[in-house]
Amino acid sequence: MRFLVFLSSVLCCLSVFGTESKPVNVDDSALTELAQKPLWLDLLHYHQIGVISPNESQIDDSKFFLSPQGKIDPKAELKATLIAFQTPFTGEDVNQASQCLYPARLSWLKSQNLGISFIEPDCPDFQDWYGKLNGESIYLVFPAAYLNSPSSMYGHTLLRIKKKGSNSPLLDYAVNYAANADPNDNQLVFSYKGLSGGYPGVISVTPYYEKVKEYNFLESRDIWEYKLNLTQQEVDQFIRHVWEVRNTYMEYYFFSENCSYQLLAMLDASSDRLNTTKNFNYWAIPADTVRELKDAGILQDVSYRPSVVAQMEHMLDELTHEQVDQVKALVLNEQLSLEGLSDFSEDEQAQILEVAYQYSRYLSAREKSTLTYLNSRSIKLLSLRSKYDTTNVFLPIKTPEIRDDEGHKTQRLGLTLGEAEGDYFTQIEYRPSYHDLLDAKGGYLEGAELSMFSGSLGVSEDESLRVEEISFINIRSLAPSNALVTPKSWQINASLVRDFVIDDAMVFRLKGGAGVTEKVSNHLFTLLINGSASASDKYQDTYRQKYKVQVGPQLQWLYSGETHRLMASYEYLDDIDHHEKTLKIAKIEWSYLVDPDWQVRIKLEQKKQDNLKQNIAQVSLLHYF
């Protein structure tokens, strides 16, 4: 009897772990060749970003590697993996077996026909998780730019795993890579750590509806979804690899090893035919990574999910002033009264209730309103709206003609010829990214401007070369108000610039402002109250100190056409220490889109302070690439 028990135990072990044979050794030269195969390197996330960066794994969690040298030696990691996959697991929890922790590695090695019979235990945790995702296809999800969050100024990308047989995207799962930031860090600390790799970046798998709520509703961001042309085998391998990296971390870098780049790296690890990270050696902007997938030929069907604010603005275009007043009454009055609804037709009532529902949800979540009754009010308004037979009381919202990934390219090189007070000059500018108010608007936020680390060099008549400007960060968010929402318009700029009042000496300037924007047809009208602080030793003679601080209003008008854009502004800045020194800046700029990659601009500008004056006229040719 004891013998039968012993024999059954042995057979059970053999069925779980396979036979206890010695690991099969692979010839060293074959091992070297195998370790340098692109897909093995992709599975280990071996990539190089930057000129002097080593070619090593971008995964910084030592627990991810089976070899102590795995982060810097793919051959050592391969050898350790082969041994582990042929060695019976002796621990208590079979889910900790290497084959269960690295199913993507196991699948790839099995496909290499090495003549090895790997031990393949049952992995209940992985199988349960794999079955829950039940992946049929992969979608790239691209929430548009959101300037009020430093981590989302350029947009964001994530991946959605569509369940087999399901037609409800909100029930799918999302794969996201993001910085695991300290919630106590302020925006300045967050920006510094995000730029310097101070946060661990982690892969998370969450229900997709949570991401839609976060981006589409709470942050009012339009969402684009692209189905990826992947085979079932590639989808399966992607899911296996997600399992491998989900509990590891990689140092997060805002410009390079960011959300978009690491998701491309995970797709590369899923297919021999993909090498999408190859062109991102210095930075990876979400829109550019979408273009890379398009160039790789794997983007298929595209769908558009408008944000809550976009939906409200679309609906408001069809409401009368009286209807808008009724919407406000239904949402903002603490006691709900339906008396005013009887003044409208049935279709108009349905419209009012539909907009009121959206507005109440917006105030409750987006604005973190102190009106505690709004949650229950939203439910009540939705219930009232459902009682109307009319289903579609608004025209369908139009999909933008130009997607976010179809806008102008993000890098820009410019050549400028100009004249300032009789002196002629030439300037060369370079902007690594991203967009300004006079760039072609298709695919970009209306009234948004964002660039970092741009600059220009100037050549004067005597052929002397000098730095004209270095812009560290430049952001403008001129979000227009509507009948229900009045977002804050704001701007901030930190740069080294030349100041004409001290003979064009270079100064450091920090400038910001806030105000409001109104939109009328294709025109944006903005009023800002600005503050500017500049520092330089050269100010000593003029200001009796090495800095100047100014405040004052700015008026701006922007017309946006398809090929032409025109912007005029007037700014009045009063020095708070020396009120007799008032700076007045008036300028008008015109841009013309020659084709998607080329633009011509003309600018006229006048600066006046006391008896000093500088008039500038210039023409620029800009190339986007």
Residues 327, 355: contact at Cβ < 8 Å? yes
Least confident of 19-28, 41-50, 183-192, 390-399: 19-28
| Distance separating alpha carbons of residues 517 and 531, to the nearest angstrom | 18
Q: Which helix (H) or strand (E) holds 208?
A: helix 208-212
Q: What is the mean pLDDT of residues 600-618?
A: 95
> Are residues 443 and 298 part of one domain?
no
Task: Tell me if 157 is assigned to some domain.
Answer: yes
> Are residues 432 and 549 part of one domain?
yes
pLDDT digits (tens, 9 = 90+) for 98-113: 999 999 999 999 999 9
| Total tally of structural domains belonging to the chain | 4
Q: Does 508 have pLDDT greater than 60?
A: yes
> Are residues 277 and 181 part of one domain?
yes
pLDDT digits (tens, 9 = 90+) for 265-299: 999 999 999 999 998 988 889 999 999 999 999 99
DSSP secondary structure code for residue 74 in this structure? H
| Distance separating alpha carbons of residues 125 and 62, to the nearest angstrom | 22
pLDDT at 451: 94
pLDDT at 5: 37
Task: Tell me if 7 is assigned to some domain.
Answer: no
If pLDDT is split at 50, 70 and 90, which confidence band does 368 have? low
| Distance separating alpha carbons of residues 403 and 443, to the nearest angstrom | 5
pLDDT at 174: 97
> Are residues 378 and 323 part of one domain?
yes
pLDDT digits (tens, 9 = 90+) for 402-460: 998 999 999 999 999 999 998 999 999 999 999 999 999 999 988 999 999 999 999 87
> Are residues 85 and 206 part of one domain?
no
> Are residues 331 and 437 part of one domain?
no
If pLDDT is split at 50, 70 and 90, which confidence band does 51 have? low
Q: Does 325 have pLDDT greater than 90?
A: yes
Rg (CA), the chain: 30
Three-class secondary structure of residue 66 per DSSP: coil
Any idea what the Cα angle at residue 216 is, between residues 214 and 221, rounded to 5°? 110
If pLDDT is split at 50, 70 and 90, which confidence band does 53 have? low
Least confident of 7-11, 352-356, 534-538, 584-588: 7-11
pLDDT at 150: 60
pLDDT at 184: 85
Task: Tell me if 1 is assigned to some domain.
Answer: no
> Are residues 463 and 412 part of one domain?
yes
Q: What is the mean pLDDT of the chain?
A: 91
pLDDT at 181: 87
> Are residues 179 and 64 part of one domain?
no
Last residue of a domain, one of 305, 335, 364: 305
Quick one: which of 66, 78, 69 has its CA closest to 41?
78
> Are residues 551 and 435 part of one domain?
yes
Residues 524, 448: contact at Cβ < 8 Å? no
Q: Is the whole-model pTM more than 0.85?
A: yes
Q: What is the 3-state secondary structure (H, E, C) of 424-462?
A: EEEEEEEECCEECCCCCCCCCCCCEEEEEEEEEEEEECC
Task: Tell me if 13 is assigned to some domain.
Answer: no
| Beta-bridge mates of residue 605 | 587, 616
Task: Tell me if 12 is assigned to some domain.
Answer: no
Last residue of a domain, one of 57, 92, 118: 118
pLDDT at 256: 87
> Are residues 344 and 459 part of one domain?
no
Q: What is the mean pLDDT of residues 222-245?
A: 97
Q: Supply the range of the domain harboring residue 31.
A: 23-118
> Are residues 323 and 300 part of one domain?
no
Last residue of a domain, one of 118, 147, 180: 118
Q: What is the mean pLDDT of residues 543-553?
A: 93
Task: Tell me if 5 is assigned to some domain.
Answer: no
pLDDT digits (tens, 9 = 90+) for 451-492: 999 999 998 777 789 999 999 999 999 999 999 989 899 999
pLDDT digits (tens, 9 = 90+) for 4-28: 333 344 334 433 333 344 566 778 8
Task: Tell me if 270 is assigned to some domain.
Answer: yes
Q: Residue 443: which CATH number?
A: 2.40.160.40
Share of the chain above pLDDT 90, in %: 74
| Distance separating alpha carbons of residues 135 and 399, to the nearest angstrom | 28
Least confident of 39-43, 294-298, 364-368: 364-368
| Per-position DSSP letters for 548-609, written without gaps between them | EEEEEEEEEEEEE-SSEEEEEEEEEEEESS-TT-EEEEEEEEEEEEEETTEEEEEEEEEEEE
Q: What is the mean pLDDT of residues 290-315?
A: 93
> Are residues 156 and 43 part of one domain?
no
Task: Tell me if 599 is assigned to some domain.
Answer: yes
